[in-house]
Amino acid sequence: MFPPLPNPSTTETAPRFSEKDLIRRSASTVPAPEQQLTEVAKLIDVSKCIGCKACQTACIEWNDTHPEVGVFAGAFENPPDLTPDMFTLMRYSEWDNPETNELEWLIRKDGCMHCADPGCLKACPAPGAIVQYSNGIVDFVHENCIGCGYCIKGCPFNIPRISKVDHTAYKCTLCSDRVAVGQGPACAKACPTQAIVFGTKDEMKGWAAKRVEDLKSRGFANAGLYDPPGVGGTHVMYVLHHADQPELYSGLPKEPRISPLVEAWKGVTKYAGLTVLGVAAGVGLLHHLIMGPNRVTEADEERAEELTEGDSHARR
């Protein structure tokens, strides 16, 4: 058994990381932190997951969110999608494996992947609304958030959601408040089968390797770890029985990366745009300096008077 997360302490504890440990801050720069924290990660072993939704209810309870009671819409996903009040969601997919002719019920816990190269942060226009700590946690800072929804467009996993109440973006914080006092995320603490475990990223990779070995021994030849390099790796990783086909798991992207559209928008457009505008203004200024204004001359006025007078005389 993976060592369980300890019980929380009720004595006031200083947080173990803070502003000083930021390695990225949206729409702004941060000084390089004095030291690199050990990277943490959450490992979700899909092959152990029983789809019980304990992670969802623990998440609601810990984060004091208030999702609405909805309706049954023909599927087990409830709420039907991530919401500003539901940071994580079990997604269920029934798949007839054509090789074995066995039904497989592939259940995946969806939520923020805490990418090493976070698209949300890259897209965010509000300074300090999205931050990344050197331990890998990508967090939203609500008082800086302007609610533009650019993070949604930036995210390769379609995770953040904008609240209709306070118009700021919400997503999994990896329970930064718990991790800051030496705890693990509420979902990992709750997960009945330890399908979710939490520790350092290296340790998670090691644990995943063992799980992959077990799965291979049970006939899942393509079992593997999902830690997509396209986003620089993630701090939430999956063990998949069919790592060659992640899209089977309710559309987990096979090779996620920040969309080229977003890269274009936040890369070349951003700089080229300002350049174009600057050049336009500069050219105007230059033109004015060289050519000077285009003034109406006395002669022009006289010509106009001649033209109109002739006409008015005629009328009179």
Partner 1 sequence: MTNSWTDIRNTDLVVIMGGNAAEAHPCGFKWVTEAKANRGAKLIVIDPRFTRSASVSDLYAPIRQGTDIAFLLGLINYCIQKDKVQWDYVKAFTNAAYVVKQGFTYQDGLFSGYDEAKRDYDKSSWDYDIGPDGFAVVDETLANPRCVWNLLKKHVAVYTPEMVERICGTPKDRFLKVAAMVAETSSPTKAMTSMYALGWTQHSKGSQNIRAMAMLQLVLGNIGIRGGGMNALRGHSNIQGLTDLGLMSNLLPGYLTLPTQKEPDLAAYMSTRGFKPLRPNQLSYWQNYKKFFVSFQKSMWGSAATPENDFAYDYLPKLDLPGYDLLRAFELMHQGKVNGYFCQGFNPLQAAPNKKKVIESLSKLKFLVIMDPLDTETGRFWENHGPYNDVDPSQIQTEVYQLPSTCFAEDDGSLVNSGRWLQWHWAGGTPPGKAKRDTWIMAQLYLHLKELYTKEGGAFPDPIIKLNWPYADPGDPKAEELAQEINGRALARVTDTADPTKVLAEAGKLLPAFAALRDDGSTACGCWIYSGCFNENGNNMARRDTTDPDDAGFYSKWAFSWPANRRILYNRASADRTGKPWDPSRKVIAWDGQKWSGYDVPDIAPTAKPDQVGPFIMNPEGVSRLFTRGMMRDGPFPAHYEPFESPIVNPVAPKVRGNPAARVFEGDMAQFAEAASKEFPYAATSYRLTEHFHFWTKHVIVNAVMQPEFFVEISEQLAAEKGIVKGGWVRVWSKRGSVVAKAMVTKRIKPLICDGKTIHIVGIPLHWGFTGAAKKGFGPNMLTPFVGDANIETPEYKAFLVNIEPAPGPAA
Partner 2 sequence: MPADDLKPNEQIHPGKPVIVDRYTIGARINHWITAASLILLALSGLAMFHPSLFFLSGLFGGGQFTRFIHPWIGVVLFFSFLGLFLRFWKANLWRRDDGTWLARFRDVLANHEDNVPEVGKYNAGQKLVFWSMSVLIVILISSGLVAWDQYFSQYTTIDQKRLAILVHSIAAVAIIGVWIVHFYSAIWVRGTISAMTRGRVTGGWAWRHHRKWLRELVTRSSKGTGSSGQKPAK
Partner 3 sequence: MNVELSRRAFLQTAGAGLAGTTLGAFGFADIEAAHAAAIRSFKLANTTETRNTCPYCSVACGIILYSKGDLRKGEKADITHIEGDTDHPTNRGTLCPKGSALLGFVKSPTRLQHPMVRKPGSDKFEPISWEDALGRIARLMKDDRDKNFVARNNDGVTVNRWITTGFLAASASTNETAFATYKVVRSAGMLVFDNQARV
Binding-site positions for [4Fe-4S] cluster read: 49, 52, 55, 59, 112, 115, 120, 124, 145, 148, 151, 155, 172, 175, 187, 191
Provide the 8-state DSSP code for 171.
-
b/e code 195-228 from CB counts within 10 Å (16+ = b): bbbbbebebbbebbeebbeebeeeebeebbbbbb
Distance CA 83, CA 160 (A): 8
Shortest separation between residue 299's beta carbon and partner 2, angstroms: 8
Judge contact between 250 and 91, C-beta under 8 A.
yes
Binding mask 113-152 for partner 3 (x = CB under 8 A): ------------------x---x---x-x-----------
Provide the 8-state DSSP code for 255.
S
Position 250 contacts partner 2 (CB under 8 A): no
Partner whose footprint covers residue 149, from partner 3, partner 2, partner 1, none (CB < 5 to 8 Å by kind): partner 2
List the interface residues with partner 3, window 161-190 (CB under 8 A).
173, 176-184, 186, 189-190
Q: Which of 26, 15, 12, 249 is nearest to 121 (CA)?
A: 26
Position 206 contacts partner 3 (CB under 8 A): no
Shortest separation between residue 114's beta carbon and partner 3, angstroms: 14
Position 247 contacts partner 2 (CB under 8 A): no
The three-state secondary structure class of 199 is: strand
Q: At a CB cut-off of 8 Å and minimum separation 6, what does 258 contact? A: 117, 119, 122, 154, 156, 231
Exposure on the CB side of residue 239, measured as CA atoms within 13 A: 27
List the interface residues with partner 1, window 197-216 (CB under 8 A).
211, 214
Judge contact between 106 and 91, C-beta under 8 A.
no
| Smaller CB separation from partner 2, 70 or 284 | 284
Position 61 contacts partner 1 (CB under 8 A): yes
Computed on alpha carbons and rounded to an integer, the radius of gyration of the chain in Å comes to 28
Exposure on the CB side of residue 100, measured as CA atoms within 13 A: 10
Position 102 contacts partner 1 (CB under 8 A): yes
| Smaller CB separation from partner 3, 40 or 107 | 40
Binding mask 23-62 for partner 3 (x = CB under 8 A): -----------xxxxx-x-----------xxx-xxx-xxx
| Residue count (the chain) | 316
List the interface residues with partner 2, window 3-32 (CB under 8 A).
26-28
Of 54-62, 242-250, 266-274, 302-310, which part binds partner 1 (CB under 8 A)? 54-62
Give strand pairing partners of 133.
22
Tell me how far CA of residue 36 lies from CA of 27, 30, 39, 133, in angstroms.
22, 14, 8, 9
| Smaller CB separation from partner 2, 194 or 250 | 250
| Smaller CB separation from partner 3, 140 or 242 | 140
CA angle at 244 for the pair 216 and 233, rounded to the nearest 5°: 100
Judge contact between 174 and 235, C-beta under 8 A.
yes
Shortest separation between residue 293's beta carbon and partner 2, angstroms: 5
Partner whose footprint covers residue 14, from partner 3, partner 1, partner 2, none (CB < 5 to 8 Å by kind): partner 3
Position 298 contacts partner 2 (CB under 8 A): yes
Residues interacting with partner 1, by CB under 8 A?
A: 1, 47-54, 56-57, 60-61, 66-76, 78-79, 86, 94, 96, 102-105, 107, 192-195, 211, 214, 217-218
* Contact footprint for partner 3 (CB under 8 A): 1, 3-21, 34-38, 40, 52-54, 56-58, 60-62, 64, 131, 135, 139, 141, 173, 176-184, 186, 189-194, 199-200, 203
